Amino acid sequence: MKYDGYIQSSDYEDLYFDVIQPNIINLNLLFAGFKPVKNKHYLELGFGMGRSLLTHAVSNEGYFVGTDFNENQVAFAKNICEQAKISNLTLYADSFEQLLERFRKMKANGEEVGFDFIVLHGIYCWVNEENRQIILSIIKEFLREGGVVYISYNCLPGRATNMDARHIFKLYSQKKHTENFDKIFSFTEKFAQLEPENTINKNILDTINTHRHSHPIYRVHEFLCDSWYLPYFSDMTETMKNLGGGGDLNYICECVLAYHFKNFTPKQENFLAQINDVIFKEQMKDFILNKQFRYDLYGRRLTKLSKKRIDNYLFEAQFVLLDYPTSQTFEGCEENLKWAYIELISKLEGEDFAPKKAKKLLAGLNTDKKVFFSLLINLMTLNLVGICVPNTTHKIDEVKFYNHSLLKEQKLSQEYIFACALTGGGISLDSLERAFLNHYFNENQMNLEELFERIYQDENFHFHDANNQACKDRESVFTQLSLHYKKFLRRLPILMKLEMF
């Protein structure tokens, strides 16, 4: 059967994940001590609505390929791809099995099929064993030497406490033929309340509470697939290592920039120091952190760099300002750190927001190299700073066309991910910024007063005043809109410098 136990009743959410951006994967490789992957033959398995893949293809040089067997989702992504005339993206509606066959046939016909990046986000645990093996075969046969795999998955030990709840959700859903989580939670909760102090029931109630307000589509896809495979990290590394096929796949690092700077308590550090084996140590960190989800990178014969070369790469990398912090961004930060952030942002602001090398940003700052990069990474995590693609890109015109088509297409109230060729990734603009941008580019169609009126009349917009009280009358909404507009005008030169429009 085509859907192979995967959910077919609902399409997935339209989500963007910057962790699978080639540039971000490469920065993770550098922090882990490996040479970034230069070529971009990039494959995404199970791309969902395709938002990440579309954004990465339009904003990067290279060749991008993806598959998802949900035909509605593929039609949605293909439509955007065609309208925006993205030239370096091929989208298939193949199942993983069909894709493997397609690639094998192409290879047998003498075509060169191979990828430097193979990424799969939110897939591995939710497909059955047969499909997991097919995914592994795709990686084994079509990951190039020097290539990298990104794979994310629910993991043990953290997810163990959700297993019982998930089992009941799934059983109830099957037996009652429903995917309605109000009913599923209500039944499960009633059961757990029979003896709420019992450990199993406590975990069940925690699971329900954690997911009570999560997105309904997410809940269906998270809990109601036939499979819910939960590996330990160390088991996953074994699976990858034993793949074979032109070189083992070795664990590189967790693809989370902030994780490279994670501090453990001195007691924990002391404990971890006695473990030499990298995998064993990482597994014990998962126990310390009670990890529920992992974002792993595996590499096939990646080049290890000396400390000097890593520094060279890092200091030559260019960074660019994406947005300004708000008055709350650094709340709760130690005073000296707050000033270091502000100084870094003002440096990035200099010379009309031009991208700057890390070595230039560090010069004159009163911090050491490690603290400096951790500050920069925190600013990246807050979406205030981006890392630039190493070579000047020829994709700027394509990106501008894509972004303008997004501006035109979407509903007034939707937040959207736009593309940026300078960073090779997506940049989120909220619904008001989108509305203001539309107005900025089509000023002749409506004056600002009319735009404010339209937003005021749109029931999807809600505003709060400085005291966090909901704005009800026209005047207070207009006051808030003026403030938002001022903020937008401050960000506008940054967006223009990023050559997004």
Ligand X SMILES: C[S@@+](CC[C@H](N)C(=O)[O-])C[C@H]1O[C@@H](n2cnc3c(N)ncnc32)[C@H](O)[C@@H]1O
Contact residues for ligand X (CB under 6 A)?
4, 6, 12, 15, 17, 46-48, 67-70, 73, 95-96, 121-123, 126-127, 131, 221
* Long-range contacts of residues 134-138, Cβ cutoff 8 Å, at least 24 apart: 134/96, 134/97, 134/100, 135/45, 135/96, 136/239, 136/243, 137/100, 138/43, 138/45, 138/96, 138/99, 138/100, 138/103
Give the separation between CA 223 and CA 210, rounded to whole angstroms. Answer: 13
Measured from the CB atom, is 122 or 299 closer to ligand X? 122
Closest CA to 65 of 44, 80, 81: 44
> At 14, is the secondary structure helix, strand, or coil?
coil
Contact (CB, 8 A) for 159 and 85: no
Of 18 and 282, the one with the shorter C-beta distance to ligand X is 18
For residue 227, the tally of other CB atoms under 10 A from its CB is 16
Q: Nearest distance from residue 70's CB to ligand X, in Å?
A: 4
Q: How far is the CB of 347 from ligand X (least distance, A)?
A: 35
Question: Considering beta carbons, is residue 36 or 426 the nearer one to ligand X?
Answer: 426
Rounded to 5 degrees, φ, ψ at 7 are: -60, 130
When the beta carbons of 234 and 428 are compared against ligand X, the nearer one is: 428
Report the nearest approach of ligand X to the CB of residue 260 (Å): 23
Report the residue number, 96 or 298, with the smaller CB distance to ligand X: 96
| 194 contacts: CB under 8 Å, gap ≥ 6 | 201
3-state DSSP helix/strand/coil percent for the chain, to nearest 5? 50, 15, 35
- Quote the least distance from Cβ 312 to ligand X, whole Å: 34
Nearer to ligand X, 51 or 356 (CB): 51
In the complex, the smallest distance separating the C-beta of residue 34 from ligand X, rounded to whole angstroms, is 24
d(CA 73, CA 313): 38
Least Å from the CB of residue 166 to ligand X:
15
| Complex with ligand X: residue 96 or 251, whichever CB lies closer | 96
For the bound state, the minimum distance from the C-beta of residue 47 to ligand X, rounded and expressed in Å, comes to 6
Nearer to ligand X, 127 or 320 (CB): 127
Q: Are 325 and 384 in contact (CB under 8 A)?
A: yes
Sign, Cα dihedral of 233, 238, 244, 248: positive
Query: What is the identity of the amino acid at 387?
Result: I
Least distance CB 476 / ligand X (angstroms): 37
48 contacts 143 by C-beta, under 8 angstroms: no
Long-range contacts of 76-84 (CB under 8 A, 24+ apart): 76/11, 76/14, 76/49, 76/50, 77/47, 77/49, 77/50, 77/53, 80/50, 80/54, 80/405, 81/50, 81/54, 81/57, 83/405, 83/409, 84/54, 84/58, 84/398, 84/401, 84/402, 84/405, 84/406
Contact 154, 291 (CB under 8 A): no
For ligand X, the closer CB: 113 or 127:
127
Omega into 196 within 30° of 0, i.e. cis? no
Quote the least distance from Cβ 174 to ligand X, whole Å.
19
Question: Amino acid letter at 226?
Answer: D
- DSSP per residue over 281-292, as a string? HHHHHHHHHT--
Minimum CB separation of residue 211 from ligand X in Å reads 15
Q: How far is the CB of 96 from ligand X (least distance, A)?
A: 4
Q: Indicate the residue among 18 and 68 with the shorter CB distance to ligand X.
A: 68
Structure tokens given for 125: 């645990």
Rank residues 12 and 169 by Cβ distance to ligand X and give the closer one: 12
